[in-house]
Each structure stands twice: as structure tokens, then as C-alpha cells.
Amino acid sequence: MIHLPESAHLWALFAAGHGLHVLKRASLSAGSRISGTKSRVEWLRTNALNLGIRLFVNAAGFSYWVAHPDAATQMIHTLGIPFNLTIEPGHATAAMFGLSGDSMVDWAAAKVPFLQKEIPASNSQ
């Protein structure tokens, strides 16, 4: 039996979560009356570059979190807020990061001006 390292499990769950999120967006768009795309495949093809960029940004955030699970705690401590936001990477958290990471990318792009130029907007409809 082949034993995969724990990091491979985490990355597989992250990728599965991200893939499900993208498929959900494609399905919503294909089912929308105001969308210009009529199928999930057409939506994926139309948005391939934007999806690639957004996956890259989401994966970079995931990679940073895996290496530094206490990063959020350290950041708010510099603001003088003594709150522990450390979440150790695990199977459930890796899957949820993948599933919700694209939404976090949207939030960050809306709040950070230079990201607005670098990260393509979500095009769900």
C-alpha cells in the first residue's frame, strides 16, 4: 500500500473544495436567464483564464496558511487585539479553505485596491 504524505491529502481536499465551488458557479451561471453562457462547459471555457488566476491566488493563500497557521493571530496581535485565530491545517479545514477560498479572494479584491487590478472579478451570472 502506498502511503501519501499528509500534505498530499490536504492539497487534494483543497483542490476538491475549490473544484466544487467552481462547478457550483458554473451551474448557477448556466441556469441563469441573464447569463450569456448556456452550459457549464461553455462557462468554464469562457472563464478559463480568470479561473486560473483565481485558483493561483487561492492556492498561494492556502500554501501560506499551511506553512503559517498562526498568521492571522500574529496580524491581529500587531493591532493590539489579544485573540487567537490559529487554525491548524486538517482534512476538514483544507476542504473548507478550497470551497470558500474563492469567496475570500473576492472579499480581498474588494478591500485592497491593487488587488482589484490583478484579480479578475467573479463572473457568476
Question: Could you list the mean pLDDT of each consecutive 10-residue stretch along the chain, which spans 125 residues?
Answer: 88 96 92 88 93 93 94 91 92 95 85 82 60
pTM of the model: 0.83
7/22 Cα distance (integer angstroms): 22
pLDDT of residue 69: 94
Count of structural domains within the chain: 1
In-domain check, residue 70 = yes
pLDDT of residue 24: 93
Listed in sequence order, the DSSP H helices in the chain are 6-31, 40-46, 48-67, 71-78, 91-111, 113-118
In the 8-state DSSP scheme, what is residue 39?
S
In-domain check, residue 94 = yes
Domain limits for position 112: 6-118
26/5 Cα distance (integer angstroms): 32
In-domain check, residue 102 = yes
Given CA atoms 64, 68, 71, 74 in this order, what sign does their dihedral have?
A: negative
**Cβ 109 vs Cβ 123: under 8 Å:** no
In-domain check, residue 84 = yes
